[in-house]
Amino acid sequence: MTDLTGFVTLTRREILRFLRRPRNTFVPPLVTNVLYFSVFGVVLGSRVGKMKFDGVTVDYIVFILPGLVVLGAISNAFENSSFSIFHGRWNRYIEEALTSPMSYSRMVVAYIVAGATRGLLVGILIAVVGAFFTPVGVARPFYLVAFALVITLLFSSVGVVGGLWADDWDNLTMMNQFLVRPLVFFGGVFYTLDSLDSEIFRNLTLLNPMVYMVNGIRYGFLGVSEVNPNVSLAVLSGLTLAFMLLDTYLFRRGYGLMD
């Protein structure tokens, strides 16, 4: 019971931390995605016209919407857990959690769930913003929810590793700006795989895990995908479990915690 109480308390604290600062949590992605939809969806989309993939033709703004949802969701999931861990290390209040009777596994899951919650909320916000620019449908609700949960849990788990590894605040910014975002932009957000003329570039793109995340969310919204959604979901679920186990192992070893 004590272990469960600690888990609930830590999860609640981490969720309230970002809910109490909506100007830092929700306003930036709101403004950013209004600009994305305005520039890429409306202005550029009117010139691009229709996008055809997997036998379906849709407006360009409809095509990019799932990718922007992924970008916002995973960036915020990663940022929340990495910031929480590093900030706790920096100000040494993470020691309160470490000295509690709570198990390392539940401690890790608390940070991951809080980060995933922020990612999901931001993803929903971006979808709502997109609805003001174009009609948004949900063709496969089960897959949409499943992929949304998996990708936010995955990047929240990766964020825990980042928070333990980072030596200063610049490391956190570097990881988000130069690792997460480039992978998304080269992960099929703004273009189809068929648009890649070079077979080499196409094969390299298929090595990018973002391709499967973007196509998974796109399958949820539109019911079509350039890659098998079941395989993508299975692989991403396996990666999520692997990172969660890695996080627990690092906590148990005290990596980055015992300075």
pLDDT, tens digit, 9 for 90 and up, residues 215-249: 999 999 988 888 889 999 999 999 999 999 999 99
> What's the rounded Cα separation, in Å, for the pair 33 and 233?
26
Let me know if residue 106 belongs to a domain: yes
Which tops the pLDDT comparison, 243 or 4?
Answer: 243
Looking at residue 191, what is its pLDDT?
A: 76
Structural domain harbouring 68: 2-253
Q: Does the residue 175 lie in any domain?
A: yes
CA dist., res. 50 & res. 75, Å (int): 28
Give domain status of residue 226, yes or no.
yes
Residue 140: predicted pLDDT? 92
CB atoms within 10 A of CB 230: 12
Residue 118 Cα distances to 12, 65, 184, angstroms:
12, 19, 18
Of 69-78, 162-171, 201-210, which has the strongest mean pLDDT? 69-78
Counting the structural domains of the chain, the total is 1
User: Domain for residue 84, yes or no?
Assistant: yes
Q: Within 13 Å and on the Cβ side, how many CA atoms surround 237? A: 10
Q: Which one has a higher pLDDT value, 142 or 44? A: 142
pLDDT in tens, 122-169: 999 999 998 888 888 888 999 999 999 999 999 999 999 988 887 877
Query: Percentage of the chain with pLDDT > 90?
Result: 31
Amino acid in the structure at residue 62 = V
259 occurs within a structural domain: no
- Counting residues of the chain whose pLDDT is more than 70, the rounded percentage is 93
258 falls within a domain: no
For residue 154, what pLDDT is reported? 95
